[in-house]
Amino acid sequence: GQNIDQPTEMTATEGAIVQINCTYQTSGFNGLFWYQQHAGEAPTFLSYNVLDGLEEKGRFSSFLSRSKGYSYLLLKELQMKDSASYLCAVRDRYGGATNKLIFGTGTLLAVQP
């Protein structure tokens, strides 16, 4: 079966650091993506991990452990504009095609002053 779990909501303070966790159990795995989605807008790509370890990209970092089926997104120096839903997605396999994304329900992050 396909299962991706992430917390429904989180709250953090402006300037702080927040970690959003994602665990997955999927029939196939070919990479894990994080997307940001502001209310009423389209999801936008943040990061991609296919190998174990940490990928850093400015204020955002993402970590992957394939053996544990676990990833996290780390947001540093939080700003009010970071208030959004953060979606974890696993790229599955389907026969020889590998581009299908399976999304979690998203974590709604509220950044408070």
Partner 1 sequence: GAGVSQSPRYKVTKRGQDVALRCDPISGHVSLYWYRQALGQGPEFLTYFNYEAQQDKSGLPNDRFSAERPEGSISTLTIQRTEQRDSAMYRCASSLNAGEQYFGPGTRLTVT
Q: How far apart are CA 34 and CA 19, in angstroms?
A: 13
DSSP state of 3: E
Residue reference for tokens 């196939």: 28
Stretch that binds partner 1, among 12-20, 61-69, 75-83, 84-92 (CB under 8 A): 84-92
Stretch that binds partner 1, among 12-20, 54-62, 68-76, 92-100 (CB under 8 A): 92-100
Question: What are the contacts of 91-97 at 24+ separation with CB within 8 A?
Answer: 91/29, 91/30, 91/31, 91/32, 91/33, 92/2, 92/26, 92/27, 92/28, 92/29, 92/30, 93/27, 93/28, 93/29, 93/30, 94/28
Q: At closest approach, how far in Å is the CB of 12 from partner 1?
A: 20
Q: Is 44 in the site for partner 1 (CB under 8 A)?
A: yes
**Which is closer to partner 1, CB of 9 or CB of 77?**
9
Q: Is 49 in the site for partner 1 (CB under 8 A)?
A: no
Q: Is 89 in the site for partner 1 (CB under 8 A)?
A: yes
Q: Is 41 in the site for partner 1 (CB under 8 A)?
A: yes
Stretch that binds partner 1, among 13-21, 38-46, 58-66, 76-84 (CB under 8 A): 38-46
